[in-house]
A and B are shown apart, each in its own frame.
Chain A
Amino acid sequence: MRLLFTNPRIWLAAALGLSPLTLVGNAAAQSVDYGALEQLFGEPVTTSATGRPQKVSEAPANMVIITQDDIRRSGAANIPDVLRFVTGLDVRRYGSVDADVAVRGYNQAFNPRLLVMVNGRQVYLDSQGFVAWQLIPVQLEEIRQIEVVKGPSSALFGFNAASGVINIITYDPLYDHVESGTFRLGSQNLLEGSAVATVHDADHDAGMRISLGGLRQTEYRSPGESPALAAVTRDPALGSFNFDGKARIAPGVEVMFEASTATSQNTDISIDNLPAFDTFHADSFRAGVTADTRLGLISVNAWRNWFGTSTDSVFIGSSAAAVSNPIYVLQASDTLQLNTDHIIRVGLEYRDNSATSAQIFGGTIGYSDYSVSGMWDWRITPALSLTNSVRVDYLALRYSGVLPAGDIYTNAEYNNATILQPSFNLGLVYRLTGEDTLRLTAGRGLQAPSLIDFAVQFPASPLQPASFGSPFLRPTAVWNLELDYDRDVPAIASEVRGTIFVQRNDNLLDPGAGELPTLLPTGLLASIAQNIGHSDAVGGEISITGHSPSGFRWNASYSVMGIADHTSIDKVLITSPQNYQDGTPTNVVVLGGGYTLGGLEMDLSGRWQSRYTDYQLSATGFTPVQISNYVTFMGRIGYKVTDHVTVALSGQQFNTSRLLQTIGPPVERSIIASVSVRY
């Protein structure tokens, strides 16, 4: 009996309701060991492009991999700051812990277009359609790599992989051993700590990793901030805990279990640029099994996310707008190599997503989503490959509750509403020579309306008219056509990448507040969430990255993007967050360099971006705020005192004490001292 309870494999198998015997079958090998494959091929490995493991250089997508070394050397203390210096990414910092990230423009407060996941489990929050970066229950030290996919990826990941995907891959509790502790002290009275511990059994057949972290600091303040923002500005506090366990219960069969909880309290600029003080809670549980069989790599996993929020805002009241948003997902896939040249993947997914709020929804709004997907990877010749991915989603909406007086929709209309939408990705990769690769990709991604979009019901107040959701919203469809060219330049130990893309965004979503209120047939003056038209974009990126054996590393990039909106609100109301053509900086330049000498690491990154327009919400509507072009720098000097202890000094935006980057308070200079212990 004692043995039974000290064997983690049996714990995990029992937790999953599995007997080791049930899955032995004809299993022949293990699942994806990122570390071993990366060591073998000498470059990062990913499954985020097609669902199958492949070298990043061969993936049929424009991908950037940010490694643990990159994260450490950057000096960033959080994930958005890591992403700020990635070509093609736009990071808006609305507060000391509140930030929004977008791939290729169209950024906004509570950006709904970017799907973010941790090991494939979404941390995107469907109720409001955004990512609360501060709520991601992962410490920087336990991240193996951050995978950035530019362009739509809904054919693999489903809704909201519209403009891109960020998949945060943590170290594997079965294959990797991470023990670390980090303490940070810095500007804005920053006090932050994190710890990561890993335990393996003697045979290395089971492992678990536990991490926790917390932060306190003072919020940015500005004498000139709007009254609505000033009223909700309070100091932030964050805390998170994560458990990640995996066991090999038979040759080639692994079971996993994850659990996490996180909480955050901070001022933010939320949906439709609403200043608020939000209290967020998120819990997750996930269990899965992966079996490497003669029928392919079979994966089944189920997870439950729960997100709860309460909001304090002068526009919608104090601490009353509580939302409870559970999501249940069941996923199954099989990736099979048919022969030397063909790999296929089939996937099924069921998702149940609902949100309950008496104040915001008058009840519960939710949907069930059923999807089927397929991928076919064809190596036409050793130098040429074609990947085709298709997915179809069928979404059935439901509502139970009391719709507001004066609303134009009925419960029956909500309960009969459905969405049937396909998405696809095509990728042609041609290795012209050993040093040149050409990639032509096309895709259609989908951004689902958030549950707020579907069913929000804000009553009229002295500050704003009533705002209602709609059951008849269509997903935004993002069409993307792209040509990439990668060239290795061994003479300077560098890689050059050039990209051009065109994009069409159909059925852009407006949650309501951006729309001019109209007199409803019911006699009520209200804004209704709706699809407002389309927007076209064209852009290009060119970058060079390299490193020398002598310890130098460098990167430089320039990206340019132009957007033309063709929307209904564009015609009548240009002061709206949905004005993307003015709300996206046209030009961005990123430069970076670093040097390692023994235990000393020195790195510096800089970013310049051209001006754009943000929109401040006030009692009279939206006021455009010009955000001038600006330069920001981030750097770090770290020294390895012993094999296990590193001290570092890092600076974010150290070139200026205060910088207006959004309609949030000006971002303040931050200098952070840290001590890290790692085994």
Chain B
Amino acid sequence: MRRRRSLAFLALSAAIIFHAAAMGASLLDKDVQLMIRAIAFLRPQPGDGAIVAIAYEASSSASRQDAEAIAGYFGGGLKAGNAVLFPRLVDDGQLAGGGFVAIITASGANIDLVAAAQRALHVPCLTGDASLVRSGRCVVAVRSEPKVEISVSRMAATDGDVTFASAFLMMVNQF
């Protein structure tokens, strides 16, 4: 029974990854890996099995597909330090419900709702759009290509009472 479930999970994961590749996600798998590695520097550190919300716009199928693509990059979970994190697709209108340690924004997600959740739940928003960090609406922006670039909004982090390790903050671009 357990084996059958595992096979079904693998098949589902493969389908999601294939689907993501076919659709062309807004983030690269390397971007998502970077985001999870950055989450490892959150304080307090996320525990093993913690959930990362993938926020999308419920009325947009493209947004949902992008979120599924991002979730697909997690495969069987991504390591953040000693913890393994798992994705959960969350309609941006439902973000206030919480239950996750960070929010990754899919294309089309309502950034105002994401920013509100960030402030209320004290969890960081992570995006591939650096302008959202420069404008103080998202805490972390990453880019893996052609070089790794990570930026952090000090204002958004302060507003959301989100804390990172000092060593991490000293090595990123802060706005």
Contact = CB atoms under 8 A, between A and B. Distances in A.
Interface of A: 28-33, 36-37, 39-43, 45, 52-55, 204, 251-252, 292, 296-297, 335, 337, 339-341, 343, 382, 434, 490
B32 interface: no
Interface stretch (B37-45, B69-77, B102-110): B37-45
Given A54-B171, A297-B167, 13 more contacts: A28-B166, A29-B165, A36-B37, A40-B41, A53-B167, A54-B170, A251-B43, A251-B44, A292-B165, A335-B166, A335-B170, A337-B174, A340-B174
Interface string B133-172: 0000000000000111010001000000001111111110
Nearest to B175: A340
A39 B167 contact: no
26 contacts: A28-B163, A29-B41, A29-B164, A29-B166, A30-B165, A36-B41, A40-B148, A40-B150, A41-B148, A41-B150, A41-B171, A43-B148, A45-B171, A53-B167, A251-B43, A292-B165, A297-B167, A335-B166, A337-B166, A337-B170, A340-B154, A340-B174, A341-B174, A343-B170, A382-B173, A434-B146
Q: 4 closest Cβ contacts across the A-B interface?
A: A29-B165, A340-B174, A29-B43, A40-B37
A311 to B, nearest CB: 44
Nearest to B37: A40
B91 to A, nearest CB: 30
A37 B154 contact: no
B59 interface: no
A252 B40 CA distance: 13
A436 to B, nearest CB: 12
B125 interface: no
A434 B147 contact: yes
B173 A37 contact: no
A40 B82 CA distance: 14
A387 to B, nearest CB: 12
A55 B167 CA distance: 11
B117 interface: no
Given A45-B171, A339-B154, A39 B166 contact: no
A40 B170 contact: no
B54 interface: no
A343 B166 CA distance: 11
A40 B31 CA distance: 11
B81 interface: yes
A313 B38 CA distance: 58
B163 A29 contact: yes
Interface residues of B, number: 26
Contact of B38 (A31, A40, A52, A343): A40
Nearest to B144: A42
Contacts of B95: none
B167 A31 contact: yes
B148 A42 contact: yes
Nearest to A47: B167
A41 B147 CA distance: 9
Interface string B16-55: 0000000000000000001001101101100000000000
Nearest to B44: A251
A252 B44 CA distance: 9
Nearest to A297: B166
* Residue of A28, A41, A337, A490 contacting most chain B CB atoms (<10 Å): A41
B171 A53 contact: yes
A434 B43 CA distance: 31
Contacts of A28: 43, 163, 165-166
A297 B168 CA distance: 11
A341 B172 CA distance: 11
Contact of A53 (B40, B147, B170): B170
Contact of B166 (A54, A292, A339, A490): A292
Contacts of A33: 167
B131 to A, nearest CB: 14
Given A28-B43, A382-B173, A40 B163 contact: no
B41 A490 contact: no
Given A28-B43, A29-B163, A339-B154, A37 B168 contact: yes
Given A29-B165, A36-B40, A40-B150, A204 B170 contact: no
Given A28-B43, A204-B82, A434-B147, A40 B166 contact: no
Given A37-B171, A41-B148, A54-B171, A296 B166 contact: yes
Contacts of A339: 154
Contact of A37 (B43, B147, B167, B174): B167
B51 to A, nearest CB: 21
Contacts of B163: 28-29
Interface in B64-122: 81-82
Given A29-B163, A53-B171, A40 B43 contact: no
Contacts of B175: 340
A331 B75 CA distance: 46
Contacts of B43: 28-30, 251-252
Contact of B37 (A31, A39, A335): A39
A433 to B, nearest CB: 11
A297 B82 CA distance: 22
B126 to A, nearest CB: 13
A575 to B, nearest CB: 51
B144 to A, nearest CB: 8
Contacts of A252: 43, 165
B167 A32 contact: yes
A297 B170 CA distance: 10
Contacts of A37: 167-168, 171
Contacts of A43: 148
Given A28-B43, A339-B154, A292 B167 contact: yes
Contacts of A45: 171
A434 B11 CA distance: 40
A247 to B, nearest CB: 15
A40 B34 contact: yes
Contacts of A39: 37
Nearest to A343: B170
Contact of A55 (B37, B82, B154, B171): B171
Contacts of A42: 147-148
A490 B147 CA distance: 11
A168 B25 CA distance: 42
Contacts of B165: 28-30, 252, 292
A31 B169 CA distance: 12
A204 B81 CA distance: 10
Nearest to A292: B166
Nearest to A200: B82
B47 to A, nearest CB: 11
Nearest to A340: B174
B80 to A, nearest CB: 9
A204 B168 CA distance: 20
B170 to A, nearest CB: 6
A299 to B, nearest CB: 11
B159 to A, nearest CB: 15
* Residue of A28, A54, A343 contacting most chain B CB atoms (<10 Å): A28
A156 to B, nearest CB: 16
B143 to A, nearest CB: 11
Contacts of B41: 29, 36, 40
A42 B174 CA distance: 19
